């Protein structure tokens, strides 16, 4: 494919909103944050006037990488990167369980993670 054709396709994907932007991927360990965890958080009561400020606060934490709002028994899944277990403990105690709306936090350490293939639109369904 010619470079001009590729550039035109990328420009069309940007204009149509398929491409939302570009991200810089950093190695948390090389930034001194070699321990990563997922925090499952239950907020009670789960009301808009509480969850909005909760999410806003979590998004300001330098350790927070991603916040997911979920269905099911837990309300949020927060991906964090910290220096060590002591910082993780401080983060959970001082920034999560110290909040009156947080009813429960479960900490899951991440041993390893892998990137998956590119996100593609659904293909044609196979006939059965």
Per-residue pLDDT of 27-46, as tens digits, reads: 999 999 999 999 999 999 98
Rounded to the nearest integer, the mean pLDDT of the chain is 92
φ, ψ (nearest 5 deg) of residue 67 = -125, 130
Q: What's the rounded Cα separation, in Å, for the pair 128 and 118?
A: 26
In this prediction the pTM is 0.83
User: For 28-110, CATH number?
Assistant: 3.30.70.920
Q: What is the per-residue pLDDT for 101?
A: 94
Question: Does 57 have pLDDT greater than 80?
Answer: yes
Domain positions in the chain are: 28-110
What is the mean pLDDT of the segment spanning 51-70?
96
What is the mean pLDDT of the segment spanning 67-83?
97
Q: What is the per-residue pLDDT for 79?
A: 98
Candidates 35, 42, 76, 81; CA nearest to 56 is: 76
Q: What is the per-residue pLDDT for 117?
A: 87
Angstrom distances, CA of residue 13 to CA of 4, 28, 83: 14, 30, 38
């Amino acid at each position: 494919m010619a470079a001009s054709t590729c550039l035109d396709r990328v420009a069309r994907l940007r204009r149509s909103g398929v491409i939302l932007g570009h991200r810089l991927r950093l190695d948390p360990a090389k930034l001194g944050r070699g321990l990563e965890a997922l925090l499952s958080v239950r907020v009670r009561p789960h009301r808009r006037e509480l969850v909005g400020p909760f999410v806003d606060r979590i998004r300001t934490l330098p350790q927070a990488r991603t916040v997911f709002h979920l269905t099911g028994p837990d309300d949020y899944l927060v991906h964090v990167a910290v220096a060590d277990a002591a910082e993780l403990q401080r983060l959970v105690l001082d920034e999560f369980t110290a909040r009156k709306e947080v009813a429960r936090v479960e900490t899951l350490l991440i041993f390893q993670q892998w990137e998956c293939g590119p996100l593609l639109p659904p293909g044609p369904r196979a006939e059965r």
